[in-house]
Chain A
Amino acid sequence: MLDRLARHRLARHLLIAVVAGAGLVALTYALPPFRNYQLATMAAYLCATAGLTVLVGLSGQLSLGHGALMATGAYACALTSAELGDAGVTAPLLLLGPLVAAIVAAAVVGGVVGLAGARLHGPYLAGLTLTLTIVVPAITTTFADQLGGDQGLSVLVEPAPAGLGIAFPLERWQAWIACTAALLTMLLLANLTGSRFGRELRAVRDDEVAARLAGIDVGRTKVVVFVVSAAAAGLGGGILAVLTQSVSPGAFSLAFSLFLLMAVVIGGTGSLAGAVWGALLLVALPELTALLSDNLATSPRLAERLDGNLSLLVFGLVLIVVTIVLPTGLQGLFSSAAGRLRRPSRPSPVDLTHQPTTDTEPTDAQHTSTP
């Protein structure tokens, strides 16, 4: 019975992924190049926010180091692409090889951190992962010969396959790559969190002692989820490197790691659909604030001062407002709005956003605010 249900879920997730994929392909044809680039960036961020929301929301482990894990993936991608390029390898291996390397490298780093992190709680784990983020610029500077210092490395990227036509814009091709990666990540994470492992995660998050009594290996569960989350972040970083054809430490600052976490909280901790809103926010907010500062600022000098700083301020304010007004994030708001619209109806059906353990969802917010 359980087995049949699980298979049922997989089919449903696959169906959603295919439909979303088709919608995205249509979207990339409708969008001009710059919007496609933004869509691709959003998809790259989504890989990371989806992994992070599972880690923070479902396993209760707080990571401030996902920017660093993305950097790990991005650098692994750049180094591998340079090696493969030197060896004369061409597409599609020149694209897939570096991305696999990105996933593996980030997963290895995630495994090491996860092993240490499984013994730590709350602020101590946050501190450990924070260190990871801070150390990134120092590492790239120390090994400047290999990693290129502040200037970073360039990533070898081939244009869209000739079969798509000469006039096929690079940005649309990039959007396809990034969206494929994001959909795969979402699909895997949705299945994982809906599976037995997902229930173990929630059990560990809610009460470690009880989980242990129920026969769950708490340490193993924590390490595995950290590795999965890190691998997702690594893929996101690798995609980002492919998009910008370069990687530099400035892209993975401490502020960026904090932004990732904020995006997850604003979107709705523990919710994969919320991760989509978070990723959208990460791309849209800087642009909106730039627009705002252009219109608000009366003098060029004021605009100059606002330009770099306003997005930080607005992001912070949005976070505070969301935490107070919508403890379950944007997705919580949309879910309840959708629920009201549908009333009266039968019990809410199971889907991507509503896991079988719907009743535990309100506790997600409490969990993220306590560590």
Chain B
Amino acid sequence: MHSTRQPLRRPLAAVSSLGLILALGACGGGGDSAASTPGVTADSILVGTHQPLTGPAAAGYSTISPATKAYFDYVNSKGGVHGRKITYKVEDDGYNPATTQTVVRELVLKDKVFAIVNGLGTPTHTGVLDFLKTNKVPDLFVASGSRSWNQPEKYPTTFGFQADYTTEAKVQATYIEQNLPDEKVCFLGQDDDFGQDTLRGLTQILGEDGVAERQTYVTSNTNVAPQIGKLKAAGCEVVALATVPGFTALAVGTAARLEFAPQWISTSVGADYSTVAGALGDAAPLLEGFLSTNYLPSQFDDANPWVSLFKQINTDFNDDAPFTGNTVYGMTVGYLFVQALQQNGKELTRDSLLETIEDGGLDGPGLTALRFSADDHSGYGGAQMAKVTGSSQDYFGPVYTTDDGDTPVTEYTGEPTVPPTDGIPAA
């Protein structure tokens, strides 16, 4: 009897000590009553996000969440929203989908955030859609232009924010059709929905034969010489890019080394002048004439009241960090979230906030209107062309509006929005 009990003691001790360790660790997490809304108290709201603070997409994008946080700090300094101060918990996922899985679970299950706001990246965020849906977590303003965020039937809690890549690409293709009609158009894109959605928009306007050579890259391999070499060999004159900023710089730099100088035309996510020029360093003049689309005001447009508001907040609440397109982007996200909270009113639940957003009252600094409704969860619905001249990136031509489907590209007729006087959206 004794001899059979003895050997059991150690594994049992191991299991129980393990239990103790885990349970001790669990105590830090704390518990909340089932009735209350996770992450919301009478005077605070906790929201979280996953961002590439390190890794292949960190260039530029790592400055988005500090800008969003700066806007929240600005609002908090004025008393918060309905008496609640916003805490923004940023987790680094290194643009690695596997890490995103872990950090988002940590935010939702351990930190019990009220919502995920502006989780960044197509490959990264795609993997957590099901998890967020299962846990009924509002998944607001995803930082990516993939069409996946606009599936209200399948993912009722997920909302986009950016003009989707297909919309941006259709605006680019319209520009190419009108201004570069006889040029050979080619494509370099990320090997995921980001690239595919962009290509889809291009071919919708230019036709399947309209995009001659198509190349893809993966962020885990920083050598794009083979792809650029093929584009050069194919005699491309216009290269449409669906690249993150680091790879925009790589593509432009590699092409220069191969003595290949096509007309570049890029989606907004890979075209922020400050970021790409910063990555290129001394080679920044290569960007002269670089075309892109955008749906938010230009950082260089000092006359725009939104830009001056954001610049002021950047000085006061973001350590006067370099003011770039990413700053405008991050603060716009902050503004939209605060606007949603304001319009929702004091009684805040996850469901009530989703309903508020679906009511379609949000606007913000975008060049066109947001498309939110019960059966549309896509973000801004149009874009304008921009061109690099010297060290400025100025917008030109009309603002176009369209969608990710068959709707033709038309000029936007709405009026530009103006920020509220104190910079905080009305309730």
- Report which A residues bind B (CB closer than 8 A): 12, 15-16, 19-20, 23-24, 26-27, 30-35, 37-39, 137, 141, 144, 148-152, 154, 159, 170-171, 244-246, 248-252, 273, 276, 280, 300, 304-305, 307-309, 338, 349-353
Some 5 contacts from A to B, beta carbons below 8 A apart, are A19-B15, A27-B22, A151-B126, A250-B96, A304-B53
Report whether B109 and A304 are in contact in the complex, using a CB–CB cutoff of 8 Å.
Answer: no
B259 to chain A, nearest CB (A): 28
B98–A244 touching, CB < 8 Å: yes
Contacts of A144 in B (CB 8 A): 191, 216
Report the Cα distance A351→B8, complex, angstroms: 8
Indicate if the CB atoms of B131 and A245 lie closer than 8 Å. Answer: yes
Taken together as a complex, chains A and B put the C-alpha atoms of A248 and B98 apart, in Å, by 6
Chain B proximity of A145: nearest CB distance (Å): 10
Asked if A27 contacts B19 (CB within 8 A), the reply is yes
Distance from B85 Cβ to chain A, minimum over Cβ atoms (Å): 18
Q: Is the CB of B131 within 8 A of A248?
A: no
Interface flag for B181 (CB, 8 Å): no
Closest partner residue, chain A, to B56 (CB atom): A150
Q: A32–B31 contact, CB under 8 A?
A: yes
B101/A151 in contact, CB under 8 A: no
Q: Are B19 and A154 in contact (CB under 8 A)?
A: no
Chain A residues within 8 Å of B233, by CB: none
Is B55's CB under 8 angstroms from A137's CB?
no
Report chain B residues within 8 Å CB of A35.
22-23, 25-26, 29
**Residues of B27-72 contacting chain A, CB below 8 A:** 29, 31, 53-55, 62, 66
Q: Nearest residue in A to B22 (C-beta to C-beta)?
A: A35
Closest CB pairs A-B (n = 5) = A251-B98, A351-B7, A34-B109, A151-B123, A250-B96
B105 and A308 contact, CB distance less than 8 A: no
Interface stretch (choices B218-226, B235-243, B355-363, B392-400): B218-226
Nearest-CB distance from B16 to chain A (Å)? 7
B112 CB, nearest partner CB in chain A, Å: 9
Which residues of chain B in 79-114 are interfacial with respect to chain A, using CB atoms and an 8 Å cutoff? 92, 94, 96-99, 101, 105-106, 109-110
Interface of B is mostly: helix
In the complex, B11 has a CB within 8 A of chain A: yes
Task: Give the CA-CA distance A12 to B123 in the complex, in Å.
Answer: 47
Compute how far the CA of A320 lies from the CA of B10 in the bound complex, rounded to whole angstroms: 27
Please state if B15 and A34 are interface contacts (CB–CB under 8 Å): no
Main secondary structure of the interface of A (DSSP, over half): helix
Closest to A250 in B: B96
Is B29 touching A32 in the complex (CB atoms < 8 A)?
yes
Interface membership of B376, Cβ < 8 A: no
B6 CB–A CB distance under 8 Å = yes
A24 to B21, CA, bound (A): 13
Are A30 and B15 within 8 A (Cβ)? no
B22 to chain A, nearest CB (A): 5
Task: Quote the shortest CB–CB distance from A44 to chain B (angstroms).
Answer: 12
Select one of B11, B94, B123, B131 contacting A308, CB under 8 A.
Answer: B94
- Complex Cα distance A251/B220, Å? 12
**Interface assignment of B193: CB less than 8 Å from any CB of chain A:** yes
State whether B4 touches A19 (Cβ < 8 A).
no
Min CB–CB distance B230 → chain A (angstroms): 16
| Most interface-central of A12, A31, A246 (chain B CB within 10 A) | A246
With a cutoff of 8 Å between Cβ atoms, the chain A residues found around residue B191 in the complex are 141, 144, 149-151
- Which residues on B sit within 8 Å (CB–CB) of A350? 7
Assembled-state Cα–Cα distance A254/B62 (Å): 25
> Which residues from B are CB-within-8-Å of A309?
54
Please determine whether B130 and A32 come into contact, CB atoms closer than 8 angstroms.
Answer: no
Instruction: Kindly report which residue of chain A lies nearest to residue B29, judged by CB atoms.
Output: A32
Residues of A within 8 A of B98 (CB): 244, 248, 250-252
- Given A150-B220, A170-B134, A280-B18, verify A19-B53 contact (CB < 8 Å): no
**Which residues on the B side are within 8 Å of A276 (C-beta)?**
14, 18
Chain A CB within 8 A of B179 CB: no
Q: In the complex the two chains form, is B14's CB within 8 Å of A273's CB?
A: yes
Give Cα distance in the complex from A273 to B12, angstroms.
Answer: 12
Rounded to whole angstroms, the CA-CA distance of A206 and B34 in the bound complex is: 59
In the bound complex, residues from chain A placing their C-beta under 8 Å from that of B23 are 27, 30-31, 35
Contact B26 A349 (CB under 8 A): no
Residue from the list B16, B101, B192 in contact with A149, Cβ < 8 A = B192
Contact between A300 and B7, CB atoms less than 8 A apart: no
For residue B243, give the distance in angstroms from its CB to the closest CB of chain A: 14
Q: Which of B267-293 contact A (CB under 8 A)?
A: none
Q: Chain B residues near A250 (CB, 8 Å)?
A: 96-99, 220
| A351–B98 CA distance with the chains assembled, in angstroms | 37
CA distance A212 to B332 in the complex (A): 72
Q: Which residues of B contact A137 (CB under 8 A)?
A: 218, 220-221
Q: Which residues of A contact B101 (CB under 8 A)?
A: 244, 246, 251
Contacts of B4 in A (CB 8 A): 12
Verify A24–B192 contact, CB threshold 8 A.
Answer: no
A26 neighbours in B (Cβ, 8 Å): 19
Known: A38-B22, A150-B219. 9 other contacts (CB 8 A): A23-B16, A27-B22, A32-B109, A32-B110, A34-B105, A152-B127, A248-B127, A251-B98, A304-B54
Which of B18, B29, B192, B216 has most A Cβ within 10 Å? B18
Residues of B within 8 A of A149 (CB): 123, 191-192, 218
| Given A149-B191, A304-B92, A308-B94, A338-B10 contact (CB < 8 Å) | yes
Give the docked Cα–Cα distance between A99 and B323 (Å): 50
In angstroms, how far is the closest chain A Cβ from the Cβ of B43? 23
Are B123 and A150 touching (Cβ within 8 A)? yes
On chain B, the residues within 8 Å of A300 by CB distance are 66
A contact residues around B8 at 8 Å (CB): 15-16, 19, 351
* Cβ of A351 to closest chain B Cβ, rounded Å: 4
User: Which residues of A are found within 8 Å of B221, using beta-carbon distances?
Assistant: 137, 141
Q: Is B407 an interface residue (CB 8 A)?
A: no
CA distance A159 to B130 in the complex (A): 11
By a CB distance below 8 angstroms, the chain A residues around B3 are 349
Indicate if B378 sits at the interface (CB-CB under 8 A): no
**Complex: chain B residue closest to A140, CB-CB:** B218
A240 to B, closest residue via Cβ: B98
Chain A residues whose CB sits within 8 angstroms of the CB of B16 once the complex forms: 23
A78 to B376, CA, bound (A): 30
Q: Is B339 an interface residue (CB 8 A)?
A: no
Closest to B130 in A: A245
